Each structure stands twice: as C-alpha cells, then as structure tokens.
C-alpha cells in the first residue's frame, strides 16, 4: 500500500537529507500516474519561523513540519509508517504550507 495523505512515514530522502520523518501531503494517485508522493519534512531544529507547523504526536520527537521543506519522492523510498495526523493537525500543516505558497487554505 502506498503512503496516504496525512500519514507520517520514515522516508529515505537521499544522502544529504538521510532517512527522516515526513508528512505525506499529496492526494492518492491512479495506476496511470507516477508512483510519487509529495512530502513535508519534520524537523527538531526549530527557528521560530512562521513556516513551522508545530504538531505534537506521540510517535515524533518535539518539532515541527517545515513548510519551506517540501519535496516529491518515489513511493519506493518509503521505509515505514510511523503514524497519522488527525484532521485538525493536518489542517494546521496545510495552512502553513499554503501560506508559504502564497495561497489560503
């Protein structure tokens, strides 16, 4: 099963970014689409930026999802599911990402 929107996964993000937690941000894809997902990185190195969405869940260290750190990766880079955000937590990340993109939720 491919990762689903709102789930938090450990992802192999390459040599520089290594394996780290990410939030699956993209919507489901069809068989004719590319098997990729767009993710928002989680970080414990906070700066107090307006583009940090702090969401507390038991399966992550204290930190935030960084709206300025968005990437798209093939689903084969998914290592394992860590958990999922509830609707209000996902909405908080959406608002922050949309703010970074110059849009409103």
- Chain segment 63-105, per-residue pLDDT in tens: 999 999 999 999 999 999 999 999 999 999 999 999 999 998 6
Q: Which two tokens stand for residue 30?
A: 């069809």
Q: How far apart (Å, rounded) are the C-alpha atoms in residues 47 and 37?
A: 26
The candidate with the shortest Cα–Cα distance to 91, out of 53, 56, 64, is 53
pLDDT at 105: 65
Residue-averaged pLDDT of the chain: 95
pTM for this predicted structure: 0.94
């Amino acid at each position: 099963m491919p990762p689903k929107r709102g789930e938090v996964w450990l992802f192999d993000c390459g040599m520089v970014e290594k394996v780290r937690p990410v939030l699956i941000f993209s919507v489901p894809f069809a068989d004719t689409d590319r098997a990729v997902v767009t993710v928002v990185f989680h970080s414990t190195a906070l700066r107090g930026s307006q583009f940090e969405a702090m969401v507390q869940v038991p399966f992550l260290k204290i930190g935030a999802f960084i709206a300025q750190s968005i990437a798209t990766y093939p689903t084969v880079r998914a290592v394992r599911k860590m958990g999922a955000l509830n609707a209000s937590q996902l909405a908080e990340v959406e608002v922050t990402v949309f703010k970074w993109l110059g849009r409103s939720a």
